[in-house]
Chain A
Amino acid sequence: MKSMTSLTILAGLLLVFTFVWERVDVVRVGYQVERLKVQKTALERERDELQVKFSKLTSPERIARVATDKLGLVPPQPGQVVVVHPGPERPGTAEPAAGEVRLAKNYLAGRAK
């Protein structure tokens, strides 16, 4: 009878502890989730900042300015850019897949020599 009572008390205590532990753990996980959310927000902010920076750096206006001012490049003159749509490799063979090759004319002229 005595051992039965002890067992019941023990089971009751175990239940109480489990309940308390579960509540504490829920709160702990809650804090963890919140920390991760803050981290996620910070990373998203950083991603957006980098995307804005990337967009600014790849702006055609900036690229043109760097190309001319820093690298001394000039826009191609009329006739300097050639768009080639390749024909068949040899007479009688099938037409190659649609595509095109863009070559600077000077390079093309060099290859043709």
Chain B
Amino acid sequence: MAAAPHRGRRYVALCLLLAGFGLILFRLVNLQVLQAAELAVKADRQHQKTVALEGARGAITDRHGKVLAINMEVPSVFGVPTALDSPSAVAQHLSPVLHVRASKLEKKLRQDRSFVWLARKLDPEQGRRLEALSVEGIGVVMEGRRFYPKGPLLSHVLGFAGMDSQGLEGVERRYDSDLHGEKRIMVLQRDALGRTVFPKGLAEENPAPGHNLTLTVDEVIQYIAEKELEEEVNRRHAKGGTLIVMDPRTGGILAMAVSPRFDPNAVGALSPDRWRNRALTDAYEPGSTMKAVLAAAALEEKVMVPGTMVFGEHGAMPVAGTVIHDHDRMGWVSFAEVIQKSSNIGAAKAGMALGDHRLYRYLQAFGFGQPTEIDLPGEATGLLKSPKDWGRRSLASISIGQEIGVTAIQMVTAIAAIANSGVLMKPYVVSEIRDAKGQTLKRILPHVRRRVISPETARTLTTILEGVVTNGTGGKAAIPGFRVAGKTGTAQKIDPRTGAYSSTQFVGSFVGYVPAEDPRLAMIVVIDEPHGEAWGGVVAAPVFRRVGEQALNYLGVSSFEPVKIAMAAGTRSGRTER
């Protein structure tokens, strides 16, 4: 009789136990089978962290490996407004470190959002100060920022990269696909404390950095060019200036300076006009520098020889209802003197002797009216009309550098062809692309475009162009101890209001090469709208001399004057001296 209640209790206990196990089993099936997929995703979200990583942007160096642009990890600061108790106090705290007004920060921190950028790509020092502050609800992440350690040096060639490391101008833009690093989404495993254990699979590597570029530019010659150009532009109160130094044997650009300069580290406040590389984008009427190209064509076609006598018409010659003037009233002069004294009338006559089609053919052969295909963005083609569109005066005008638009890079490439025994080279600024480990991926070699004149014509023309400097309008380009060949140019600008030639706005230029017997440097100097005297021989030729002298000295090019130097150990002869 007494066993019945015990048995009843046992049954109750058994039922409860079974119900308990049943519940557990039900929960287990629910979690492991019914909700398995959903929960697995949830767990992954908690254990894994997905981050978008980008390899560092490649560096840009000059021909000797001097760093001109480099990427650096710098701090960016964000806020979590929903996690802040007192946005105003936090804003006050951060303001002196971020150099941003407290009211502006507070406005951002009061937004109803869970993430807001407060300042991006700060200096490393600011990052360290922020870490020391350790403010709740404020976080720091590292982002790649582009640095141009030399400031404005070579800025128009380098260009710059944007906030998200994309190339926007110059080499940065042209070679963006080589420079930017690999972008990759990575999954990291986190523990219960949120610490990263290791990426999924230890073998997973960080995204590859971008490739490094080596330029043909020499930072010292670039510095010399920028310094001298800037000084002359300031001295003449000019609107601007352009200077290009090229190795005529290869077409490699040694320096490309544009004034005024800009600092690519701080482009935010500048207008696009400031960072435009006017050496490539702006066409101008070259004026008398075009006579060097005209002479090349006339000599090559044998319509002129240096001794051919040309009548100077005593300074005025009617052409197609207009009059072409010379600044000096000349009678009979040789063709060499026409170039050396920069006679417009003599040049117009040489052009007429050539004829429109032959002149046009040579202008095209020298690369006018078409891009030089330099490896920089934004190059203009210039303006060269087809002979069928020429007016009655066009042949004479083009012969003296009017009715034709050229860029500085076209003109220096053309003069470099004369320096290079008549062979036109393609200009370029990047000579090598290397990966992050230093392995060469691509070497850009000098590229011959075509032969435009014979070596004999180039030699004859060089002698004539040397006369420009020794006896003609380019005397101020003379470099003691070196033979300089070149041509001056002074062109009136078109007044945009009247559409006619301005009597006050000029472009003064000088284009040439040195040493004339074995050219190492081809150079163009263009001074835009100088005040006062605007002759190319006055404003541009002295810059050519100063840059040429320092660059030759830096390159260790010896002059033509042979000297004997007595050394302590004996007597040696050297081909040197200035």
Contact = CB atoms under 8 A, between A and B. Distances in A.
Given A31-B195, A34-B196, A34-B198, A61 B565 contact: no
Interface in B536-578: 549-550, 553, 556-559, 565-568, 570, 572-578
Contact of A31 (B197, B549, B550, B566): B197
B514 to A, nearest CB: 14
A64 B576 CA distance: 26
Interface stretch (A3-11, A13-21, A85-93): A85-93
Given A61-B150, A61-B151, A84-B565, A55 B198 contact: no
B466 interface: no
A78 B480 contact: yes
Contacts of A27: 191, 197
Contact of B197 (A34, A48, A54, A100): A34
Contact of A87 (B149, B197, B574): B574
B576 A55 contact: no
A48 B73 contact: yes
A48 B570 contact: no
A64 B222 CA distance: 13
Nearest to A76: B553
A59 B153 CA distance: 9
A87 B570 CA distance: 12
A52 B557 CA distance: 32
Interface string B437-453: 00000000000000000
B72 interface: yes
Nearest to B563: A82
A45 B124 CA distance: 9
B147 interface: yes
Interface string B165-183: 0000000000000000000
B573 A55 contact: no
A39 to B, nearest CB: 14
Contacts of B574: 82, 84-87
A52 B578 contact: no
Given A30-B197, A78-B480, A112-B565, A55 B572 contact: no
Contact of B576 (A34, A52, A56, A82): A82
A72 interface: no
Contacts of A84: 558, 565, 572, 574, 576
B72 A48 contact: yes
Interface string A43-85: 0110011011111101111001000000000011011011111
A111 interface: yes
Q: Which A-B residue pairs are the 10 nearest by beta carbons?
A: A55-B149, A60-B223, A30-B198, A30-B197, A112-B566, A84-B574, A55-B67, A48-B72, A83-B558, A56-B149
Contacts of A24: none
B66 interface: yes
Contacts of B567: 111-112
Interface string B211-231: 000000001100100010000
B556 A49 contact: no
Interface of A: 27, 30-31, 33-34, 41, 44-45, 48-49, 51-56, 58-61, 64, 75-76, 78-79, 81-87, 89-90, 100, 102, 108, 111-112
Given A52-B70, A100-B556, 6 more contacts: A60-B153, A78-B481, A79-B577, A83-B557, A84-B572, A86-B572
B123 to A, nearest CB: 10
B500 interface: no
A84 B559 CA distance: 10
B565 to A, nearest CB: 6
Given A34-B196, A52-B149, A87 B572 contact: yes
B565 A108 contact: yes
A56 B150 contact: yes
A105 B221 CA distance: 22
B544 to A, nearest CB: 15
A100 B578 contact: no
Interface in B406-453: none
Contacts of A61: 150-151, 153, 223, 227
Contacts of A49: 72, 124
Given A82-B578, A85-B574, A89-B570, A48 B153 contact: no
B70 A34 contact: no
Among B66, B147, B578, max chain A CB count under 10 A is at: B578
A48 B219 contact: no
Contacts of B559: 83
A78 B578 CA distance: 7
Contacts of A31: 195, 197
Contacts of A81: 553, 578
A34 B153 contact: no
Interface string B54-73: 00000000000011101111
A65 B91 CA distance: 40
A89 B17 CA distance: 110
A30 B199 CA distance: 9
23 contacts: A30-B189, A30-B198, A33-B202, A34-B198, A41-B73, A45-B73, A45-B124, A49-B72, A51-B70, A52-B67, A55-B67, A56-B149, A58-B66, A61-B223, A64-B227, A76-B553, A81-B578, A82-B577, A84-B572, A86-B574, A89-B570, A89-B572, A108-B565
